[in-house]
Amino acid sequence: MESVPDQNVNATAKLSHEQSLQLVRDRLKEKGDMPIFSASVNRIHIVGSDPEADAMALSEEILKDANLTTKVLKLANSPLYNRGQGKIGNLSRAVVVLGFETVKSAVLTLKLIDSFQQEFPGIDMTGMLVNAFLSGGFLRGISSKCGIKDIEQVYICGLLHNLGQVVVAYTLPEYFRDIRERQQAQNISRLAAERQVLGASLQQLGQDILNDWDFPKNVIDTLNEQKMDGLSRIRNQTELTGSLASLTNQTMDLLYSETPDTHKTLSELKHELSTVSGIKKQDIGDALEASFRQSCELAKDYGLSKKHLTPKLREGGDEDLGKLARQFAYYASSEIKAPAGSEKQTEGNVIEVSAKSPASINAATISPATINSATGGTVADPSALLGILFEITTLMSQKAQFNAILEKVLEGLHRGAGFDRAVLCLLNPAHTSYAARMAAGIETENLKKYLSFKLDVEKDLFSKIIMEGKELLVTDINQGGWRAQLPSDFQQKTGASAFILGTLRTKSRPVGLFYADKALSGNRLSADDQRSFSQLVAQAQLVLQMR
């Protein structure tokens, strides 16, 4: 190993990559037991990733850290996560409300902010943390629109993308200032200045630190320096996440830095984000605004003052940037209020249970779904879907009543997958008829009353699907002969011209089926809708197989 220069050495002395890394490690040890390096973070990450772990196991690890326990409870009681569920004072319930993946990413965010909130002359540490916090949220918003599956891990990639910058500024402030001074004095890029001073880029040192912390390789690889020449749609998920993380961080740098490193305009950054992700530029803008509002709601719970979320208002030719900065400044200065109806049961978002249900099931209120104001229909919420899937997993591990899991599946179909209505139909014990027993969504009462028929596999499509154990997506009942297999008044009574069915079976015995549609919004059912539907129905099927 190369010797490390004396720590009082002139900061202009060039270091090798290995010397820089060793100096960072030494300084981190001198800082003592920093929150981000605490054993609790590693244990929580391990337990949260264990498919056999339940909410109680994760709660026990969090309870070992009193400060973290308080903050996780505050987060679970925030308007964003606690929608009409009453005050949460029990940590295991907080874990269920948030979901395992959200808890893991929240713990990392809390500890990162706790660790590095210290000011040095000429270094804006708080600004770097705000950049990381907002970049993670923005990246989460984009990833939910472009089909990335592990949204919370992507959030972590955005949060930690500039970790090298944060850690070097904190541990080696004299070297960090020297990078800035050389960049300005020699009129060179920041990357060139970093290599002059440290023998490596800040991104490379960030990867080294993540490697020391035993992060997965696919997370570490997203910190690779991104080459943006000849932009095109990126299909590889690790490369896509890395490119999106780089571009979202550049966007926040443009909004919050006194001297942004990027020379691109906001419009150019949105265009590049659109190109590599394959989603519309307008959707990029919508994700940016939505993620910022969400970050404003959560800032206080994460230990960041909202005043730090106010972007730089500067004069210049970038009209889009100026408009967005003023808009964000308004959001940041406004009081964040709980969504209307968060303290009461919301009509149209209740899991209904028929009085004829063979089991005794209490009606349960579900969190309000996102409603499209133009159509009155439901909008899919991938983050909510992910959280509900983890809640189902938790209920399964706790051996909760089957009815409770069915309610959660229906909630997932409505609030997560974005179906306007979702219904569970069950066979009677004699297998001579089926009827709707539970429903979630908007205006489901009439639909529940209608979906009750004698079992007839020759003439009735629903009966055929129940008995054959299939899943079926019907995109238009007026095509392909579907109408002939449905009651003559089906469309009149249900308002649906498209729907999806999935059976529920125990071993080889039929139990019933799930029905879902988007009849109120009139939206077409897509392959993504079918994937979300199948994922949720599979959870209910898995529970039956385990019993």
**Spacing of C-alpha 254 from chain mean position:** 24
Angle at 222 between CA 416 and CA 172, to 5 degrees: 120
- How far is residue 292's CA from residue 131's CA, in Å, rounded to a whole number? 11
Give pLDDT, residue 445. Answer: 92
Residue 379, burial from CB neighbour count under 10 angstroms (0-12, 13-18, 19+) = middle
Which residue segments constitute the domains of the chain, with CATH numbers given?
33-116 (no CATH), 120-336 (1.10.3210.10), 350-546 (3.30.450.40)
> Residue 338: which residues within 8 A CB-CB, separation 6 or more?
79
Q: What is the mean pLDDT of each run of 10 residues along the chain (547 residues)?
A: 46 80 90 61 72 78 74 82 72 82 83 74 83 90 83 86 91 92 90 94 93 86 72 87 93 87 90 93 91 84 80 77 84 52 32 34 41 57 82 79 91 93 94 94 92 93 91 88 91 94 86 94 87 88 74
For residue 101, give both structure tokens.
Answer: 């993946």
Closest-CA residue to 115 (of 35, 172, 173, 171): 35
The three-class DSSP label of residue 504 is: strand
Give pLDDT, residue 344. Answer: 33
> Residue 402: which residues within 8 A CB-CB, separation 6 or more?
359, 543, 544, 547
Residue in the structure block whose two tokens are 């399964």:
396
Give pLDDT, residue 347. Answer: 32
